[in-house]
Structure 1
Amino acid sequence: MAEKKVVKSFLWGALAGAVTGAVTALLFAPKAGKELRKDIADTAHTVGEKTVELSKKAGSSAQSIVKKSADWAVDIRSKFAKKADPEEAQNEEEETVAL
Structure 2
Amino acid sequence: MEENVKNESHAFRNFVTGVVIGSVVGSITALLLAPKSGKELRKDLESQASIILDKTGEVRNTLVERSEHWKEQANDAAIKLSEAVKSQTKEIVDKVQQVKREHMDSPEKVLEEAKERIAMLSKEIDELQASKK
TM-score tier, shorter chain, comes to 0.5 to 0.7
If asked which structure has higher relative contact order (CA below 8 Å, sep 6+), I would say 2
Measured in 1, the distance between the counterparts of 2:89 and 2:29 equals 70
Deviation at 1:30, TM superposition (A): 2.3
- Partner secondary structure for residue 85 of structure 1: helix
Instruction: Please point out which of 37, 41, 50 is paired with 1:36.
Output: 41
The code of the aligned residue for 1:75 comes to: K
Match of 1:52 in 2: 57
TM-score in terms of structure 1 length? 0.59
**Runs of at least 4 residues off by over 2 Å:** 22-30
Instruction: Please point out which of 69, 72, 87 is paired with 1:64.
Output: 69
Measured in 2, the distance between the counterparts of 1:68 and 1:39 equals 43
Match of 2:89 in 1: 84
Deviation at 1:33, TM superposition (A): 1.2
Instruction: Please point out which of 70, 76, 79 is paired with 1:74.
Output: 79
Structure 2: stretches of 5+ with no match in the other structure: 1-23, 94-133
Measured in 2, the distance between the counterparts of 1:69 and 1:31 equals 53
CA 1:67–1:24: 2 relative to 1, 3 Å? closer
Query: 1:10-31 CA distances to partner (integer Å, 9 max, x unpaired)?
Result: xxxxxxxxx99x7576346321
TM-score in terms of structure 2 length? 0.45
Count residues in correspondence: 70
Structure 1: stretches of 5+ with no match in the other structure: 1-18, 89-99
The code of the aligned residue for 2:49 comes to: A
